[in-house]
């Protein structure tokens, strides 16, 4: 899609531009001083606001931890800025150039930067939602459940208002490894050379440690979850339901919602369409937490 970028006004080292007619975009903001070219993020803000601090959606792209880009956001920035959110989309370094623990810490560093700086863009640093698709869903869930990563950045779970992982299959990594490899063994498929086992470190202890379900516990301040999944994929369905149960067992508000007549990519890309049932679930989730319904897209 071609987008017309119109420079609106300047900030030191940054600029705002208008994307279509829906929101302003500040692109490629470094979240690490003199960092890697992928340690950057984009911020979308409403063109017009009524003033005050707005809730923030912090989004993590998918791509198997090896690919993807912060521009892969489809309709989400437009519809969420229309509803009175600031939308942030982040990049992070990728496998195999860095290990998984470094990759996760990139995401945490990005969120830490947002917490410290988002007020300059009209966002409320105490009202941050974290979402992501596919690999980004695993990262979102882990960041919102295993508090050590944000603590390293001086960020408390108190600022997290909700988590929105979309069609992830790695909330419990040992289970997905067992499932995938057992399937290959049963049906004679070639065993993976860079599957989940290798991506998460080829060490069973790391597989457990990088699983969001491992770190769920009561009274940690874990935020509410809306876990979206494609109902036709048995792996993401099972993982979503499992995460939901583990969270609920720890008295954490959690809902897993499966969308039919879709697929892994369309589930994510359709978010924001007015007739999309998963989108309505997202709006209900956000509105219930923020207590605001600034604009319902017709």
Q: State yes or no: pLDDT of 262 exceeds 50.
A: yes
Please report the pLDDT score of residue 5 as a whole number.
Answer: 33
Q: Residue range 253-259: average pLDDT?
A: 98
pLDDT interval class at 1 (50, 70, 90): very low
**pLDDT above 70: percentage of residues in the chain:** 90
Reported in sequence order, the residue ranges of the chain that DSSP labels E, i.e. its strands, are 5-11, 14-19, 23-30, 40-46, 54-60, 86-90, 123-133, 160-166, 225-230, 254-259
Domains of the chain, by residue range, sit at 5-172+211-290
Please report the pLDDT score of residue 189 as a whole number.
Answer: 82
Structure tokens belonging to residue 139: 């990262």
Record: fold of 5-172+211-290: Rossmann fold (3.40.50)
pLDDT digits over 73-88, tens only?
999 999 999 999 999 9
- Measure Cα distances from 131 to 43, 56, 225, 282 in Å: 15, 11, 10, 11
pLDDT digits over 22-43, tens only?
689 999 999 999 999 999 999 9
Instruction: Return left, alpha or beta for 216; rule: phi > 0 is left, psi -120 to 50 is alpha, else beta.
Output: beta
Give dist(CA 16, CA 7) in Å, integer.
6
Please report the pLDDT score of residue 297 as a whole number.
Answer: 38
Please report the pLDDT score of residue 34 as a whole number.
Answer: 97
Return the C-alpha torsion angle 279, 104, 135, 82, nearest 10: 20
pLDDT digits over 171-210, tens only?
999 999 999 999 999 998 889 999 999 999 999 999 999 9
Please report the pLDDT score of residue 49 as a whole number.
Answer: 62
Please report the pLDDT score of residue 168 as a whole number.
Answer: 98
- Measure Cα distances from 22 to 18, 55, 90 in Å: 8, 17, 20
Mean pLDDT, the chain, as a whole number?
A: 91
**pLDDT above 90: percentage of residues in the chain:** 87
């Amino acid at each position: 899609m071609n987008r017309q970028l119109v420079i609106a006004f300047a900030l030191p080292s940054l600029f705002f531009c208008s994307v279509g007619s829906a929101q302003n975009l500040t692109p490629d903001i470094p979240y690490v001083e003199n960092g890697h070219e992928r340690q950057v993020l984009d911020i979308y803000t409403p063109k017009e606001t009524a003033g005050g601090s707005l809730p923030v959606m912090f989004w993590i792209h998918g791509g198997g931890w090896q690919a993807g880009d912060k521009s892969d956001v489809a309709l989400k920035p437009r519809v969420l800025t229309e509803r009175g959110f600031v939308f942030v989309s982040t990049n992070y370094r990728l496998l195999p150039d860095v290990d998984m623990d470094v990759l996760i810490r990139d995401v945490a560093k990005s969120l830490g930067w947002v917490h410290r700086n988002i007020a300059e863009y009209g966002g409320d640093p105490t009202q941050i939602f974290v979402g992501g698709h596919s690999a980004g869903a695993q990262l979102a869930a882990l960041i919102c459940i295993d508090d050590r990563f944000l603590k390293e950045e001086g960020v408390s779970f108190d600022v997290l208002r909700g988590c929105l992982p979309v069609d992830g299959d790695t909330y419990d990594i040992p289970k997905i490894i067992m499932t995938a490899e057992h399937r290959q063994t049963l049906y004679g498929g070639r065993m993976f050379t860079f599957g989940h086992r290798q991506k998460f470190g080829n060490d069973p202890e790391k597989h457990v440690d990088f699983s969001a379900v491992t770190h769920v516990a009561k009274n940690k301040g874990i935020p509410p979850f809306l876990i979206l999944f494609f109902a036709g994929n048995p792996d993401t369905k099972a993982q979503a339901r499992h995460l939901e149960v583990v969270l609920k067992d720890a008295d954490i508000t959690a809902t897993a919602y499966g969308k039919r007549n879709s697929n892994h990519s369309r589930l994510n890309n359709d978010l924001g369409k007015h007739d999309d049932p998963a989108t309505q679930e997202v709006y209900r989730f956000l509105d219930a937490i923020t207590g605001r319904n600034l604009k319902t897209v017709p």
